[in-house]
Amino acid sequence: MATFKPYPFVLGFLVIYLFASPALAFGAGNIAGISKIEGQNWRHGDIEDALLKIVMARAMGGKTFDKLSVSRVYFGNWLRDYSQAIDVGTVKAVSAEAIRLLLCVLGFLTFGYGSREFEVTADRLGCYRPEDHIDNPKNYADNVDARDYDPRLRGPVDEGTELAIDPETGMKNYIANENIGIMSSAEHVRKLFSKCIRLARSYKETNDKTELYEALRLMGTGLHCLEDYLAHSNYTELALIEMGERDVFPHVGRDTKLRIPGARHSVYPVVTGTFGGVDFLHSVTGELSDKVTQSEIEDLEGTLKAGRNGDTSLLRDLLDMIPDGLIGGDKKNKIDEIQENAANSQLENMSVSPREPEEFTVYVQQVYRQVMPVIEFHDDLLQTISKAIEKIPVLPKIIEQLEEQLSLFVFQIIAPVIIPLIDQVKNELATGSTEIINSSKNEQLVVFDDDSCTDPTHSMLAKDHFSNILNEVAGRTASKVVSWVVPQLMDAWDDDSVDVDQLLNRIIYGVLHHPAQRDMGEDGAREGRQMMFSSVEEWWNDLGEDAREEYRQKLSRDGVLNGENHKEGVQDCGHGCGKPLGMHKNFKNEAPETMEDRIAAAAANQIMGGVKQGFSEFLSGQANNNQGNLLGAVAGGILGGGFNNEATSAYRSSGYTPDGGYSETTTEYGYDGNRYGQAEYTETRYDDGSQRQEYSRYEQDDNGYEDRRYRRDDDEYREERRYRRDDEEEYGGGGGYSRRHEDEDLAYPDPERPSSPSLLDRIAQRAKDAFEERRREYESGERERRWPF
């Protein structure tokens, strides 16, 4: 059977060979939650995590954003980074559809879904547009009309108008001037958020989920642009200058100061960076070498090839464990159908060059027809289960395993057709990487050589990468921008009386502004401006005097010229996220795995294999106490009988609890037709010697459910029961006793509590024995032979 492991591949390949185009903002993705640099370095995904603390519109339930809703927002953000793959440099050699197909695979990896609202369609992907990222369009496409290659690309730049400084705002016109007939980033955000609000308000009337999901995507697209203002502009440097740090280099020439309304003195203008080949490589890799990327390509191809002959037997077994009523129909038949179609395909043996446009387009369309059905099958199954989880405490371990096996199945199907496509596209585009480096190195120092220059390069100015010492403050401020903007949009979704134009003026000009005008702004825009300035101010003040003195040198003209504003030895891979890119898991617990977890997982495997039968025999017939009332007429496991032995499984987990204890949990689940059951036993121990035992059992069928819970600790024993039948009436009850005095004997006879070892005690001992056996094997070295991790 093929093994599933994280693979740091697609990202590096795509960005270096496909994305020969402008800025990638803070970078797609987010930093691993267990990373030591989380919170210190930022990517767009980290900034979007601010949504998890924000309450959604009432039409969405009025709760805080959940992870799936955040993903729907971030999908719009993510698309803007990767839309840059569709630009002059790539469409000259390869069809946009081929690039989009590869991005479909990358999107599937990133979000765990690749169809419906997460499908990378041509309309959603679009193409590179400077206003998406507040990029300086100077010399775009070497001043040829890019629309000759793709009509969606922008035309030649009117440098006299677009690149001029607005004397009212102190910003480049392409940033926020909506009054001179050009496409500025401000106008772009206005259009995005306007449509976002319109769709959300319509959703309240139609309850059409496609409108809601599109509204979330558009919100993410607009947020990307606002976040890029902190990543791509010299706002942070100018804010530091406003705080009195006069030696901070503003990334423009010495003679570019001007007077603007509200400023106390002449100021340098707000600008963003231009692009050449070196800027592209810096944006996507953080370095001027593609050696790491080469290994990632090999990892991609190796992983996909390893998945070609994956065994689907475990996937079929897992599907058997889930009642048909939950997922609908026989999904195994669909697996057979997809495999048969893949086997009949002759695409793997085809060799069509991208230089043959018509034939290559047909080839790519055939690949789409093979790739999308399996992704749709994956998404349909997981989303169906995701909806059911809210109603049923459904098989948590099975779902985690099912998601992993489904991912393997997808790659088994798509590998034979994606790998040849990767090879062909890679070969066509690889030759350009050396040429673009040599063509633009001389442009990097333009603002040092020309005192009137207001067009720095992206490489010198942007704060995209972890190595830049201003990445932290830029990302922190961008996160606060999200926290300021989104609640206002949610209010507009809920309240149709909110004036959209007035709201968007407040948002756009509360973010896109010169820090010297932080005390200006109408209709609440001043609040956003002061929030941003305060964020930079707080960060600077928190550094301490020694650190500030060090930063003064690193951020000075000479410091920037010598590269001192980047941390030594710190590298990231542009779109990377502080961890290898692997298949996104929507159902997996992302907490760090401990050695205890690994030993416990091996114990769980043993229980699922052969120990479960002995476990059941040990417990068989034990129905002479309170807990036995639940299991009285049945035998087997902590779940009890009444379920087909082949349709039951168990797993084990352990970890520290919020109250300082250490818990070990055994869970067993099973099904029989449309009847589903789940039982769980947990023992928690504390440093003072006390312990708590808990047992719960849940069963549901077409007629209703029954839920029983038992708990015993040093002080009390309690029992609760709830059930509901098809008469729609719900019943509940419970009882127990408490320890009244510290010196009372817990073993005294009680009709509610037997003096002999209880079923809980027996279950606990058996679970403990399995766990300790696995620990001993690990410590003695037998684990290496029997339980490889």
For 628-671, the pLDDT digits (tens) are 322 222 224 555 555 555 556 666 667 777 777 888 887 776 76
Q: What is the pLDDT of residues 166-225, one digit of tens each?
A: 999 999 999 999 999 999 999 999 999 999 999 999 999 999 999 999 999 999 999 999
Mean pLDDT for the stretch of residues 518-539: 97
What's the rounded Cα separation, in Å, for the pair 314 and 330? 15
In one-letter notation, the amino acid at residue 557 is: R
Q: Are 440 and 139 in contact (CB under 8 A)?
A: no
Mean pLDDT for the stretch of residues 727-738: 52
- Examine the fold and report which residue of 561, 579, 609 is the final residue of a domain before the chain moves on: 561
The dihedral built from the CA positions of residue 50, 54, 59 and 63, taken in this order, carries a sign that is positive
Query: Residue 258 falls within a domain, yes or no?
Result: yes
What's the rounded Cα separation, in Å, for the pair 81 and 280? 12
Query: Residue 198 falls within a domain, yes or no?
Result: yes
Alpha helices by DSSP H, listed for 432-499, are 432-440, 446-449, 458-461, 471-494
| pLDDT bracket for residue 716 (50, 70, 90) | low
In one-letter notation, the amino acid at residue 276 is: G
553 and 690 share a domain? no
609 and 520 share a domain? no
**Phi-psi sector, 23: left (phi>0), alpha (psi -120 to 50), beta:** beta
609 and 536 share a domain? no
- Position 769 scores a pLDDT of 59
- Position 403 scores a pLDDT of 83
* Residue 274, beta-bridge partner list: 457
- Position 441 scores a pLDDT of 58
- Position 326 scores a pLDDT of 63
Q: What is the pLDDT of residues 755-783, one digit of tens each?
A: 444 444 444 455 455 556 655 665 665 44
Query: Residue 2 falls within a domain, yes or no?
Result: no
Mean pLDDT for the stretch of residues 133-146: 91
- Position 420 scores a pLDDT of 81
What's the rounded Cα separation, in Å, for the pair 510 and 485? 9
| pLDDT bracket for residue 87 (50, 70, 90) | confident
- Position 332 scores a pLDDT of 73
What's the rounded Cα separation, in Å, for the pair 464 and 462? 6
- Rounded (10°) CA dihedral 651, 656, 657, 662: 80
- Tell me: pLDDT of 75 over 70: yes
First to last CA, the chain: 15
- Position 386 scores a pLDDT of 73
Average pLDDT, the chain: 74
Of the two residues 655 and 558, the one the predictor is more confident about is: 558
Query: Residue 378 falls within a domain, yes or no?
Result: yes
Query: Residue 108 falls within a domain, yes or no?
Result: yes
pTM over 0.75: no
Judged by average pLDDT, the poorest of 80-84, 616-620, 739-743 is 616-620
536 and 682 share a domain? no
Q: Are 223 and 485 in contact (CB under 8 A)?
A: yes
In one-letter notation, the amino acid at residue 12 is: G
Closest CA to 7 of 276, 307, 425, 338: 307
What's the rounded Cα separation, in Å, for the pair 267 and 258? 5
- Position 43 scores a pLDDT of 58
Alpha helices by DSSP H, listed for 607-673, are 612-619, 626-631
Query: Residue 571 falls within a domain, yes or no?
Result: no
Closest CA to 273 of 237, 307, 248, 323: 237
- Position 582 scores a pLDDT of 55
Report residue 740 as tokens: 């009244």
Any idea how long the chain is?
789
What's the rounded Cα separation, in Å, for the pair 621 and 636? 8
599 and 517 share a domain? no
Of the two residues 608 and 694, the one the predictor is more confident about is: 694
Of the two residues 779 and 135, the one the predictor is more confident about is: 135
670 and 557 share a domain? no
Residue 391: which H helix or E strand, with range?
A: none
SS3 294: helix
- Residues 6 or more apart whose Cβ sits within 8 Å of residue 544: none
| pLDDT bracket for residue 673 (50, 70, 90) | low
Of the two residues 235 and 9, the one the predictor is more confident about is: 235
Q: What is the pLDDT of residues 451-492, one digit of tens each?
A: 999 999 988 999 977 789 999 999 999 999 999 999 999 999
Q: Concatenate the DSSP letters of all residues of 147-185 into one string.
A: GGT-TTS-----HHHHTSB-TTTSBBHHHH--SSSS--H
619 and 546 share a domain? no
Longest alpha-carbon distance in the chain: 94
Count of domains in the chain?
Answer: 2
84 and 160 share a domain? yes
Query: Residue 578 falls within a domain, yes or no?
Result: no
Mean pLDDT for the stretch of residues 677-693: 81
What's the rounded Cα separation, in Å, for the pair 165 and 168? 9
550 and 615 share a domain? no
Q: What is the pLDDT of residues 265-284, one digit of tens each?
A: 999 999 999 975 444 434 43
Query: Residue 731 falls within a domain, yes or no?
Result: yes
| pLDDT bracket for residue 684 (50, 70, 90) | confident
What's the rounded Cα separation, in Å, for the pair 281 and 279? 5
- Position 164 scores a pLDDT of 98
Range of the domain at 167: 10-561
555 and 618 share a domain? no
Tell how strand 691-701 and strand 730-738 pair up: unpaired
613 and 534 share a domain? no
299 and 150 share a domain? yes
